[in-house]
Amino acid sequence: MTTHEDGHYADLEQLRRENSLLQQRIRRLEREAASMQPIIAEVKRLKIWDFTPYGVRPDDSWLALDRASATELMRALAGTDHWHPWQSRIEPRPQP
């Protein structure tokens, strides 16, 4: 009997340790995810303008970005958020 109960306690203790470790891990992942949110939000707001067809030199309010890097960045961003897809509010077209 005693051996059987000891076994239960050991299982319980192990589950508690696992639970504690998982909770710690969740908290760490939540912190990490929260710290990434502003970066993702800013990247979503990033204005990228391909100036090459215009034959103009962008003024000093623009900064150059490597084209391949930008493409990869957009590809990575596209997979970040399925709950709040990357979108903008379209101007309403009233048709009463």
Partner 1 sequence: MVVSPEISSSTAAEAQDVAWREYVREDRVHRSLYTDERVFNEEMVKVFGHTWVYLAHESQLPEPNSFVSTKLGLRPIIVTRDRRGGLHAVFNRCAHRAATVCREETGVAKSFQCPYHGWTFKNTGELVGAPWPQGYGPDFDKSEFGLGKVTRVDSYRGFIFGTLSEAAPPLADYLGEARPWLDYWIDRAPEGEVVVRSAAHRMGYRGNWKLAFDNAGDGYHPSFSHRSLLEMASRMGDSKDMSYFGKTPDDGPMKVYSLGNGHSVIDQRPNFDGPGSIWANQRPQPGREKFEELIRAKYPEDADRLLDISAGGQINLSIFPNLLIIGNQIQVIEPLSVDRTQLTWNATSIGGVPEEVNTMRMRTQEDFPAFGEPDDQANFEEVQRGLAVTEEEWVLMNRGLNVDGWQTIDENGVIVTAVTDEIHMRGYYEEWLRLMNGEPA
CA distances from 13 to 1, 2, 5, 27, 38 (A): 18, 16, 12, 21, 39
Minimum CB distance to partner 1, residue 8 (Å)? 49
Give the binding-site size for partner 1 (rule: CB under 8 A). 17
Cα separation, 64 vs 49, in Å, equals 9
- 47 in contact with partner 1 (CB under 8 A): yes
User: Which residues have a Cβ under 8 Å from the Cβ of 43 and sit 6 or more positions away?
Assistant: 73, 77
| Residue numbers 57-76 binding partner 1 by CB under 8 A | 61
Q: Which is nearer to partner 1, 53 or 79 (by Cβ)?
A: 53
The residue range among 6-14, 18-26, 30-38, 41-49 that interacts with partner 1, by the rule CB under 8 A, is 41-49
For 58, the token pair is: 């962008």
CA 74/CA 68 separation, integer angstroms: 10
CB of 55 to partner 1, least distance (A): 5
Binding site for partner 1 (CB under 8 A): 45, 47, 49, 51, 53-56, 61, 88-92, 94-96
